[in-house]
Chain A
Amino acid sequence: MSQVSIRNLRKQYGSSVAVADFSLDIAQGELVAFLGPSGCGKTTTLRMIAGFVEPTSGSIFIGGKDVTYVAPHRRNTGMVFQRYALFPHMTVAQNVAFGLDMHKFPALERDARLKQVLEMVRMHTLKDRYPRQLSGGQQQRVAIARALAIRPEVFLLDEPLSNLDAKLRLEVREEIRALQQELGLTTIFVTHDQEEALTISDRLAVMHDGCVQQIGTAAELYERPTNRFVADFLGQMNFLEGAVGTDGRFATRRGTTLGVLLDDSATNAIGLRPERISLTHQPLSGEGSLPVTISSSVYKGSTLEVRAVTDNGEVLLCHVQNNARAHAHPSAPGVRAFATFTKNDCVFFN
C-alpha cells in the first residue's frame, strides 16, 4: 500500500503553470527524489504536499487520507528546509521540542523523544546552544531532528544540502539516508543535484517545466531515459539525429551511416553515453566501427574526456578510463581512430 499518493496534481499561478499533471505513488519506507532544474515545479509540488500551497486541482493522500485541503499543521509531515529555518530565539532543545509541545505530548514521552532524536543526530551535547552558535551542518542536523521528533508520516526535504560545503554535503547526505533506512521513513527529497538524487533515492522523478518527465530507479533513468530531456539532464549524452534507412541502418542527418541495425523505423535520434564508446587505433569487429579524428582531450583525473569528430563533422564525447591501459587508447589531437559501440550501448528516441 502506498503511503503517499498524488493524483493529477496541478498548480497554476494566473496563466503560468507551475505543476502540470503530477501523479505518483510512494510506498511506505521509500525515498523518492524530485530532480529537475530550478523552476521545474519540484519545490511547488513538495509545498503542496506539506500544505503551504493549495493545488489548483488534483488530490494528495497521506496514509490513505485525503489531505489536499487540510491545513499544514494538521498533516503530520516533517519538513527540512533549504535554509534550515530554525527558530532563532530558541535553543537546540527548544527547537526540537517545539513540535512535541504543539502535539501536546505528555512530559515524560516528550523528554524521552527529545533525548532520542538529539542523540540520533549527535546534537545532545549542544542542546543548550542557540542556532546562531552552530555551524551550517549542525544547524541542518537540528532541523532534521526537529522534523523527525514528531514521527511524521512523510519526511520532506527541500534541497537540504545545498547550503553546505562539498564535504559536509556528502556526510549529511549519508546521514539522512541512514536515518531514513533505519526508521523506515517515507521520504521525498527535492534537489537539483543529480548526483545527490541518483545516490540517495530508491526512485527518482525527473521534472521539467512543471511536468514529470520520467519516474524510475537511478539505473532505469540513466540507462533507459524515455526522452531527450532526461537523457540530457542525467549525466552526459551524445545525440545523433537522423533517420533509419531502408536497410534498417541509422543514418545521421549529415550522412554518417552507423553500423547498428534498428528495429524501430521511427527512431529519429540516437543517444550514446560517453563511457559506452570505445576508441581504438584499429577498427573492431562486431557492429562496425566509425572512423573518427581526435580533436581534443581533457585530463579529468579518473577519466580522459576525449572529443572525436566523424568525417562528416559530428562530435562524439568519449570517456576513457584512466587505468593501466589508458595509453593504448588514442587521445592525442589529430590522430585517426575508430569509435565502436553496439546496439546495447545506444538509447533510441522517436
Chain B
Amino acid sequence: MNTASELELEHAPGLRRRPRVSWLAVSARAFVVLVYFFMLSPLIFVVWLSFFADAIPSFPPSGYTLHWYRQAFENEAFASGFALSFKVAVVAAFISVILGVSASLGVVRNRFRGAAAVNGLLMSPLVVPGIVAGIAIYLFYLRAENILNIDIVGTYAGLIAAHVCLTIPWTMRLVCASIGGLDTTIEEAARNLGASSLKTFWRVTLPMLRPSIVASALFSFIVSFENLEVTLPLVGPGHTTLPIAIMQYLEFNLDPTIAAVSAAQIVLLGIVMLITDRFVKLSQVV
C-alpha cells in the first residue's frame, strides 16, 4: 500500500520527489512478514516436529529421525483411514462436479423462478458450522434408516452423500463464475455452424469450462479429504477417515507420529492445491 501511493506521488506532475525509506513502509513490511510467520508457524512446527527423535516432544530436540514416518506408515488405522479418505474424496469430487456443473448452468443460464433460492440453498452448507451439519445429517440418516430399513450411518455411500453436500458450494462458486464469464455468442456461433444444442455443449461449452471444472474437482477433493467435523458422527467402527484416525490416535498418544501423518497430508494437499491454482487462481474464489 505504502509503496503504491509513493509511486503514484512520483508520477504525479509537480510532486516529483526522491523515493525515501520511511519508517511506515518498513514497519508495514515487517508486519506482513509477521502475519505470514503466524499463519505458517503451525505448518512449519508440525513438519519440524515430525523429525524429532524424542517420543515426548521437547525443546530442543535431542536429535532427528525418520522413525515416526515408518511408524505412521505401519499403523493400520492411518493406512486404512488414508485409503477411505482418498476413496471418499475422489468419488465425492466426481459427483460434486457433475451436480455442480449442471446446477450452475441451470442457475446462471435459465433465470427460472426461484433460481436465486436454489443457488442460496446449494451454497448454504458454507454457513452451517460443520459439527452442526454433521449431527443434523446423522439424525436425518437415523430417521431415514428407520423408515427405509437400510443402513446409512457408517456406510461408504452415506459418507459420500454428506461430503457431496459439503463440496457442492465450492464447485458451484467456481463453475458459476466461469459460466458467467463465457461469451454466449461463441455458443451461438456453434449453433449457427450446424451444431445441435447438445453438440454445442460437448464441443464448445464444456471445453471452455474445463479449467474451472478441473479446479473445482481438485478443490472438492481437498475439502472432502481434510474434513473432520461433518464426518465425525457418520463413520462406523473400523471404518474411519484419516482426520478421524488422527484424532483418535491423539486421544491416547502424543508422539511425533501424528506430526509425520500430518506432514504427509500437508504435502499431498499442498500439491493438489498448487495444481488447482494452475487452472483457476484460487484467490478469486476462496
A residues within 8 Å of B by Cβ?
50-52, 71-79, 81-83, 85-89, 98-99, 102-103, 143, 146-147, 150
CB distance from B170 to the nearest CB of A (A): 24
B188: which of A78, A85, A89 is its contact (CB, 8 Å)?
A85
Closest to A146 in B: B193
Given contacts A87-B204, A89-B207, contact A98 B193 (CB under 8 A): yes
A81: which of B188, B195, B197, B199 is its contact (CB, 8 Å)?
B188
Closest to B185 in A: A85
**Interface residues as binary, B169-213 with A (CB distance below 8 Å gives 1, 0 otherwise):** 000000000000001011011111111110100011001101000
CB distance from B93 to the nearest CB of A (A): 23
B193 adjacent to A150 (CB under 8 Å)? yes
The distance in angstroms between the C-alpha atoms of A81 and B185, with both chains bound, is 7
A50 adjacent to B192 (CB under 8 Å)? yes
The distance in angstroms between the C-alpha atoms of A99 and B121, with both chains bound, is 40
A102 adjacent to B195 (CB under 8 Å)? yes
Closest to A89 in B: B207
Q: Which residues in B have their C-beta under 8 angstroms from that of A143?
A: 189
A88: which of B188, B190, B191, B208 is its contact (CB, 8 Å)?
B208
A88 adjacent to B186 (CB under 8 Å)? yes
Q: Which residues in B have their C-beta under 8 angstroms from that of A89?
A: 207-208, 210
Most interface-central of A73, A75, A76, A143 (chain B CB within 10 A): A73
B190 adjacent to A87 (CB under 8 Å)? yes
A98 adjacent to B195 (CB under 8 Å)? yes
A83 adjacent to B183 (CB under 8 Å)? yes
Q: List 14 A-B contacts (CB under 8 A).
A: A72-B192, A73-B191, A73-B193, A75-B192, A83-B185, A87-B190, A87-B204, A87-B208, A88-B208, A98-B190, A99-B193, A102-B190, A102-B193, A150-B193
B195 adjacent to A85 (CB under 8 Å)? no
The distance in angstroms between the C-alpha atoms of A85 and B264, with both chains bound, is 46
Most interface-central of B185, B196, B199, B207 (chain A CB within 10 A): B185
B190 adjacent to A150 (CB under 8 Å)? no
Q: Which residues in B have their C-beta under 8 angstroms from that of A150?
A: 193-194
The distance in angstroms between the C-alpha atoms of A102 and B193, with both chains bound, is 7
Closest to B194 in A: A102
Closest to A78 in B: B192
A52 adjacent to B191 (CB under 8 Å)? yes
A85: which of B186, B203, B207 is its contact (CB, 8 Å)?
B186
A73: which of B183, B185, B195 is its contact (CB, 8 Å)?
B195
The distance in angstroms between the C-alpha atoms of A146 and B195, with both chains bound, is 13
Q: Which residues in A have their C-beta under 8 angstroms from that of B199?
A: 102
Q: Which residues in A have their C-beta under 8 angstroms from that of B190?
A: 87, 98, 102
B186 adjacent to A77 (CB under 8 Å)? no
Q: Which residues in B have their C-beta under 8 angstroms from that of A79?
A: 188-189, 192
CB distance from B107 to the nearest CB of A (A): 22
The distance in angstroms between the C-alpha atoms of A76 and B191, with both chains bound, is 10
Q: Assuming A52-B188, A72-B188, what are 20 further A-B pairs, CB within 8 angstroms?
A: A50-B188, A50-B192, A71-B196, A72-B191, A73-B191, A73-B193, A73-B196, A77-B192, A79-B188, A87-B204, A87-B207, A88-B186, A89-B208, A102-B190, A102-B199, A143-B189, A146-B189, A147-B192, A147-B193, A150-B194
